[in-house]
């Protein structure tokens, strides 16, 4: 019998899997980050419009990613049981569900102007945000396919290729942005439309590269073999696990989207400061998200092996690594906020001083929720590894929408704390979510550590 792994061995395994996942998330986010950086240097008002459009896209993208994220623990469990048929079935139906979701969201992207007007945004920003989404919206098809294949490869502990593909995508995005936003190298100066075109190109190229890799390097799973044939049992299993994940993502992303809407009520300068501060905070969050994905894979593997001890030890190690990084980011946000904000703006921008003045306070508020943000996302990752998604969905909804959002409005507008007050409300919502998720995981891990709950029958024979 194989002896149980020590805490140090778990740490090495988490780092080995987590580093490429962290890198791929940071690289993926860097595509959005380069859009913000280059549009910020182009014009702060244009950046504010991109924040609006990008927020709507990101919220729906995260909602649809629930089906992709459901693939990860299901593949991890099936792979640990040497069940290639199950790996293929759930991955293919994850792609089906992602494409269907993308098609359902397209009207929202193509007719976004009335949505922003209903939300009370500044009229001068709405045409630019709508123009951005009319092109960027099509990116949701390849972007969600990339998420499914990323989950599939991560569950197989082959996340390195995801990192390299995503790093290449960042480079392509910078080049196309430089040409189309500013009109360099003889290209037309398209501003925000250029950023949207670049993002669409990058997502299409990324999806193509990921598909080619899966076909050539992992032929044994035959992911695209008879892809057009429905597998309703696997479809239903992925749907049942994925829709609560999607709604959980929506609850959190929706909270931050609502904060962007409230920031928009305070004006374009405040919204731009919020957008920049959110970019900075999101970079650090990508580290915790990568560790959360690693926790999902490791917990899924432990579930497949009925390894309750390994599940608990791996969880403690992942939480410790995540919290250690969070402490570093707290120090950075409190000590060097202006340098972090300054890189997003031209030194000659007339709104630079006003944006910095607001942004410094926003990063101070962000420092308050670093530990709790890490706690809630790691807790979610562990629970997803156990294929426990419906109760966490309700916990997230309560934390973010019944607590976080009202507190944000209270602090921001009733107590007149403005932007920093809105962010303090975010911290409260995240803190409640972290408490819920950690309590839920340890209750499940301690009381039901050896219960394997396969999502699809392992005797299924469909190819």
Q: What is the pLDDT of residues 262-297, one digit of tens each?
A: 888 888 788 888 888 887 888 888 889 889 989 988
- Could you give the C-alpha distances from 274 to 244, 363, 420, 421, 423, in angstroms and in order? 29, 9, 9, 12, 9
Identify the CA nearest to 47 among candidates 198, 269, 340.
Answer: 269
- DSSP assignment letter at 229: S
pTM, full prediction: 0.76
Query: pLDDT-derived band of residue 456, with 50, 70 and 90 as boundaries?
Result: very low
Of 89-98, 328-337, 361-370, 405-414, which gets the smallest average pLDDT? 361-370
Average pLDDT of the segment spanning 96-109 = 95
Q: What is the pLDDT of residues 105-150, one digit of tens each?
A: 999 999 988 888 887 877 888 898 999 999 999 999 999 999 999 8
Average pLDDT of the segment spanning 235-252 = 90
Percent of the residues in the chain that have a pLDDT greater than 90, as a whole number: 32
Across all residues in the chain, what is the average pLDDT? 85
Residue with the bigger pLDDT between 15 and 233: it is 233
pLDDT value at residue 71:
93
Q: Give the whole-angstrom CA distance, residue 244 versus residue 72.
A: 14
pLDDT value at residue 448:
60
2 pLDDT above the threshold of 80: no
151 pLDDT above the threshold of 80: yes
435 pLDDT above the threshold of 90: yes
pLDDT value at residue 40:
77
Which tokens is 252 given? 């959190």
386 pLDDT above the threshold of 50: yes
Cα dihedral 183, 184, 186, 189 in deg (nearest 10): 0
pLDDT value at residue 267:
81
Highest mean pLDDT among 32-46, 204-218, 231-245: 231-245
pLDDT value at residue 446:
65
31 pLDDT above the threshold of 60: yes
Residue with the bigger pLDDT between 456 and 11: it is 11
460 pLDDT above the threshold of 60: no
179 pLDDT above the threshold of 80: yes
The percent helix, strand, coil of the chain (3-state, each to 5) is 85, 0, 15
For 423, counting Cβ atoms within 10 Å of its Cβ (0-12 exposed, 13-18 middle, 19+ buried), the class is buried
Average pLDDT of the segment spanning 386-392 = 90
pLDDT value at residue 229:
87
Q: Give the whole-angstrom CA distance, residue 37 versus residue 422.
A: 24
Q: What is the pLDDT of residues 72-93, one digit of tens each?
A: 889 988 887 778 888 889 999 9
pLDDT value at residue 462:
38
**Contacting residues for 347 by C-beta, under 8 A, at least 6 apart:** none
pLDDT value at residue 438:
94
**Enclosing H/E stretch for 127:** helix 126-136
pLDDT value at residue 347:
79
Quick check: 122 and 260 in contact, CB under 8 A? no
Domain ranges of the chain: 7-447
Average pLDDT of the segment spanning 370-394 = 91
Percent of the residues in the chain that have a pLDDT greater than 70, as a whole number: 96
pLDDT value at residue 455:
40
Q: What is the CA radius of gyration of the chain?
A: 21
């Amino acid at each position: 019998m194989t002896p149980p792994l020590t805490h140090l061995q778990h740490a090495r395994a988490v780092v080995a899997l987590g580093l490429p996942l962290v890198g791929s998330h940071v690289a993926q986010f860097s595509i959005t980050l380069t859009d913000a950086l280059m549009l910020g240097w182009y014009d702060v008002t244009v950046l504010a419009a991109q924040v609006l459009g990008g927020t709507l896209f990101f919220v729906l993208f995260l909602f649809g990613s629930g089906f992709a994220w459901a693939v990860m623990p299901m593949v991890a469990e099936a792979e640990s049981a040497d069940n290639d048929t199950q790996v293929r079935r759930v991955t293919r139906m994850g792609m089906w569900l992602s494409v269907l979701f993308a098609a359902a969201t397209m009207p929202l992207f193509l007719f976004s102007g009335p949505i922003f007007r209903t939300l009370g945004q500044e009229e001068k920003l709405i045409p630019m945000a709508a123009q951005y989404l009319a092109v960027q919206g099509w990116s949701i098809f390849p972007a969600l396919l990339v998420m499914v294949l990323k989950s599939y490869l991560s569950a197989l502990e082959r996340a390195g290729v995801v990192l390299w593909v995503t790093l290449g995508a960042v480079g392509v995005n910078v080049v196309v942005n430089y040409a189309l936003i500013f009109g360099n190298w003889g290209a037309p100066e398209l501003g925000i439309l250029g950023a949207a075109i670049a993002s669409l190109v990058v997502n299409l190229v990324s999806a193509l590269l990921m598909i080619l890799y899966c076909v050539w390097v992992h032929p044994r799973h035959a992911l695209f073999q008879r892809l057009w044939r429905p597998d309703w049992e696997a479809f239903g299993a992925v749907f049942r696990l994925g829709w609560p994940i999607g709604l959980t993502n929506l609850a959190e992303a929706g909270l931050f989207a609502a904060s962007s809407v409230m920031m928009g009520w305070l004006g374009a300068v405040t919204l731009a400061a919020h957008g920049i501060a959110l970019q900075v905070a999101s970079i650090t969050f990508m580290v915790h998200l990568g560790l959360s994905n690693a926790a999902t894979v490791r917990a899924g593997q432990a579930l497949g092996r009925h390894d309750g001890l390994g599940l608990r030890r791996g969880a403690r190690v992942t939480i410790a690594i995540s919290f250690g990084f969070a402490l570093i980011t707290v120090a950075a946000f409190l000590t060097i906020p202006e340098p972090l904000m300054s890189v997003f703006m031209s030194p000659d921008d007339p709104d630079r001083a006003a944006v910095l003045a607001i942004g410094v306070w926003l990063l101070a508020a962000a420092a308050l929720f670093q530990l709790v943000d890490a706690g809630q996302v790691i807790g979610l990752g562990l629970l997803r590894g156990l294929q426990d998604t419906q109760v966490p969905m309700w916990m997230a909804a309560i934390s973010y929408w019944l607590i976080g959002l009202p507190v944000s409005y209270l602090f921001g507008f009733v107590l007149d704390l403005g932007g920093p007050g809105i962010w303090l409300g975010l911290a409260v919502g995240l803190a409640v979510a972290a408490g819920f998720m950690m309590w839920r995981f340890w209750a499940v891990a301690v009381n039901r550590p050896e219960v394997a709950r396969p999502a699809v029958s392992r005797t299924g024979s469909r190819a």
